[in-house]
Each structure stands twice: as C-alpha cells, then as structure tokens.
Structure 1
C-alpha cells in the first residue's frame, strides 16, 4: 500500500511516521475466502453462509470506496445498512430473538427493519474506535472469542465456525497493527470487522450477547455523536479529542469543541502512553465480554 501511496500519519507518535493504510483488505479477503471454502463442506446452512459472505463483501466494498474517496458521513452508515439486504432478502434470520429476563420475543414484522441497524451500528462503532495501535483488532478479538465461547456453550459447534474465522483473521492482523503499528486497517478493515460481528449476532441468534460485548464501542460512538450533535467523519474534526504531549504521552483535549470519546474520558484523570490507553480499552472490553457471557445464562432458554 505504501508503494501505491496509500499511507496515513500515525498522529499519536512524536515522529509522525507514515503507515500503510487499507491493509484491512487482508481481513476482508481472509473472511470471504474462508467462508467460501466452508460452503463446499456442507457444514452450515447455505442460506446463512451466502448471506454472511455477501453482507461482509458489500460492507468491505463500502470501506474501500471510503478509503479511496471519503464518503459523506451520512452515506457511510446508509451503505453499511444496505449491506444487510442479503440477510433480509434470503430470509436468513430468525425474527424471534431472545432477551435477558424476558426470553423469546416475537418480532415477525419489526425484526427485518432492525437488521440494517444490526449491521450498520457495529460496523460504524468499530470504525470509530479504530484510533490507536492495536485497539480495533485487539478488542474485536475479545468480542469474536466471546461469540465463539457463547456458541460452544450453546452446543452449536457448526455456527461457532463463523466467529472462529473472524478471530483467526484478527489475530493475524493484530500482529502487524499492534504498537508500534506497521499497518493500518483503513475503513475497509474496521467496517468489515464490525459488520462481521453484527452478521454473526443476527445469523447465530446471539444478538443480546453481542450488544453487551460491544458496549464500549457503542458508548464511544454514542459519546461522539451526542457531543457533536450529528453524524461526522474524523477527518472533519478540527479540534481532536486527544492531544500529544512533548514527552510522548497522550492527554485529554479540554476544548469544548472536541468530541467526547471513550479515550478522552480515560485520559481526563492523567496523561497516559498510547500503550496504557490500549490496555484500558482492552480491559473495558474484557469486562463487557465477561458480562456478555453472563448474559447468556440470563437468557433462560435454548437459543
């Protein structure tokens, strides 16, 4: 990607190194290829598998377009929502989700209208969290592992292959994206990963569990959108939420025009290194992942 001129500045480093971008294409190709191979093994329902592949590919293409020519902040969530159409049109979903304390609910008419949000929200939430070295693949490794464990507990070994595919792709990518990052995922990577998590939640009927596991990402997106008051792109923000100090540490930007983000809240108490911020976000995701598994036992049914 560096040879093609697709590089980004690592703004949280004093020397501002140029890092190859759009390397998340490797994640997209890995998930799509593994899923296609899986289709020849007759392990999973073809309808589920092909809707999964098409949703991931369409979301990944949205990321490619956004990396090459930035999309309007309203178009990106709209396109990622449209990527859910294969799931809806192929009717690869069950409109009877299970909720903690409530159990099985009947949403026959409403559920198809919720599916676009089930893809767009995690896709864009993961995208908005991808601001520090290793955070996107690191946190999403925990979330995909949570999905894997949940499905194994439920005895649904075949469906557990989907989060296993995502987990394998993320572990491989993390080795290159961890501090100090050698590659950036770009929107193609973060949108693909978020949409994959959403698709797994819908297709394997673990929606409530994945919502809990994704809570740090969802809250980060909510803080940012509510503080700015509209959909926005990171490129549009003139006052960034984080400032880089001369000693290389990061601190919260106290400017009222800066968006509120999870990392800004973490840094309000004291300046931290990028590695320390990474560990804090990973810890929060670990807690939410543990709570997600506990949520599984609150759903008093066999999903």
Structure 2
C-alpha cells in the first residue's frame, strides 16, 4: 500500500520539477494555443498560452509506474493505450501549431487511429489477457456477456472516453481536476479487485494531474492539449476495460459523458431545426460561462459533480 503513496508523490514531484522547464521550452518554441473564433470572447486572452503540456503528465505518470511495480500484461496494455493516445494527441497538437490553426489532424484520420488502438486493446484483452467478455452491471452484481460484440464495445468505450475527456478540457483546471477524482475512484476499484499493478497506474495519474493542476489552474500557465486529454481519456477507459467496469464509467465519468452529450445534442438539434440551439454553446461548460458564471465557478462546480458521481458509482460496487 505504501507504494501507492510513493507513486502518487513521485508523479506529483516530477511534475513540479519538469513543469517550469517544459513551460519555458514551449514558450521559447512559440508552441502557443490557438483559440477558436467561435469560443467565448474572454478566452481570446488565453491565446498564446503554451500547449502540449500533456507531455508533462505522460512523463510523470510513466516514471512512477516503472519505479514502483512490475510491468504485468495488464499494465503493459494500460501504458500502451495511454502512450499511443498521447502520441496521437502530440501529433494533433503539433499540426495545429505548425499550421497555425485551431484544428489539427483530419477528424477521420484521427478517428481511424483511435479505433485501431481500441481494437488492439479489445482483441488482446479477450484473447491474451484472459479477461472474459462479461460486463459487471452496477448495483445488481450480475454480469452480461457481450460475446462477439466485446471488441466493438471496447473500441466504443476507449474512443468515446478519450474524445469526451478532450471535450471536457476547455477551462483552466477542469479536465485535470475531474480526472483526479475519477482516477482516485479507479484506484479504489483496482484495489477492491486485487489489481495492485493497475492501482499504481491510476494513483500515478492522480499525482501527475495534481502536479499539472498547479500550473493549469486559473489563469493557466500551460494547457495539456490533445496530448494530455486524449492520453488521460485512454488511461481512464483502459482502467475500466481491464476491471470489467465499463458500465460504471458512465456514472463515475459522468462529467465526461455530460460534456460529450451536450455537443451531440447541440449538433443534432442545430441540424434538425435549421440553426437553433439548445445551449448557448457546447460543450456544456461554455454554456454556463455564457450565462455569466465565472470560469472558476464552473470548474469547481463540475469538480463537485464529479465527486458526487464517483461516490454514486462506487456504491454500485456493493455486493460485488
């Protein structure tokens, strides 16, 4: 158990040590964030803030894992998905900077790579890690066997979660704070199921995100970019897949789900009504900003909702 604390503390300290160096380097390289013209006007003052800070999170997560536990097959795939999505995000961020635009990789290219990584995870979970195709149903303590639909379902979970975290990363400290809460919850779940190696992994994420929040809190000195948000989404998704708690993730990661749904609802409603909107702007956090809430209020209230949903999700484990 003590290694869990060591892992989180090490991740936190590494982040604090390399953060200023990385931020300074990103500033010198002029790797600044491009702000979408359709976003809230107050966000234009953030233009030029260094992005790609997710590299800090990746380094701070991986090092403690290597130091405090052995690389088991499950842990290998957890790291593989996290780093693969992080590299995809790094490529996306790099294109944005080089092309000097707010959009990076073409959406279809990005989605195909995400699907490929998710498919590799699903196949290996089913055939090499000897994890069954059953999902635990929250509160009921029963399972449902997906059979041949397991791999497509894993792809949906991984791709959906990574993109949902990406959408959540729109305000200073929002994605990092929510992910801290979700990762703590999955540390508890991993310990309950005896996955000590994965508990080290998730607690390292907690420490890395805590350290990153030091620099990403309002007003942010650095943004995680797609490098961080896609990697964190992949990490949380793989933690759910490897513990067969994908259905719990819908509750525990409810803030991610709500953010993603707000975008889908907005787009569908916009197309069906010829240009009308349900929300002032999506994702949902921008809606509350445009209603007059200060950025810090939106962030803190979303953290509170994330904490409540995590507790509700953990209650679903009773009797399992």
TM-score over 0.5 for the pair:
yes
1:121 aligns with 2:160: yes
Tell me how far apart the structure 2 counterparts of residues 144 and 16 of structure 1 sit (CA, whole Å): 28
CA 1:160–1:277: 2 relative to 1, 3 Å: same
Displacement, 1:256? 7.0
The 5 Å alignment of 1:29-44 reads 29-37=59-67, 41-42=69-70
Counterpart in the other structure of 2:76: 50
Q: Deviations over 1:157-178 (max 9, x none)?
A: 4432221121111111111101
2:179 aligns with 140
Residues 1:2 and 2:21 aligned together: no
CA contact (8 A) 2:281 2:287 kept: no
Aligned residue pair count: 272
- Residue 264 of structure 2 is aligned with which of 200, 203, 225? 225
Is the Cα–Cα contact under 8 Å of residues 193 and 243 in structure 2 kept in the other structure?
Answer: no
- Tell me the distance in 2 between the aligned counterparts of 1:210 and 1:81: 19
Residue 12, structure 1, aligned to residue 64, structure 2: no
1:266 to 257, 265, 288: 288
Which residue, 147, 150, 163 being the options, matches 2:189? 150
Q: 2:87 aligns with which of 52, 61, 76?
A: 61
Structure-2 change in CA distance of 1:108 and 1:128 (3 Å): same
For 2:230, the equivalent position in structure 1 comes to: 191
- Relative to 1, partners in 2 of residues 1:74 and 1:288: Cα closer, same or farther, differing over 3 Å? farther
Preserved CA contact (<8 Å) 1:142 1:289: yes
**Aligned partners of 1:14 and 1:28: how far apart in 2?**
27
Structure 2 stretches of 5 or more lacking a match? 1-25, 36-40, 96-103, 270-274
Aligned-pair distance for 1:32? 3.2
CA displacement at 1:189 relative to structure 2: 0.5
How far 1:116 sits from its partner (Å)?
Answer: 1.0
Report the equivalent of 1:288.
309
Asked whether the equivalents of residues 148 and 160 of structure 1 are also in contact (C-alpha less than 8 Å), the reply is: yes
1:21-80, Cα deviation, whole Å (9 max, x unpaired): 101111122333333445xx44x6x22122122111211111011112211223323322
Contact 1:56 1:83 in 2 (8 A): no
1:82 aligns with 2:101: no
Shift of residue 206, structure 1, vs aligned partner: 2.4
Structure 1 contact 47–90 (Cα < 8 Å) conserved: no
CA RMSD of aligned residues (A): 2.6
Unaligned stretches of 5+ in structure 1? Answer: 231-238, 240-253
Give yes or no for contact 1:126–1:193 (8 Å, CA) kept in 2. Answer: yes
1:295, distance to aligned residue in structure 2 (A)? 1.6
Question: More displaced, 186-195 or 210-219?
Answer: 210-219
1:123 CA displacement: 0.5
- In the other structure, the counterpart of 1:97 is 135
Deviates more, 1:75-84 or 1:200-209: 75-84
Q: What's the TM-score, normalizing by structure 2?
A: 0.76
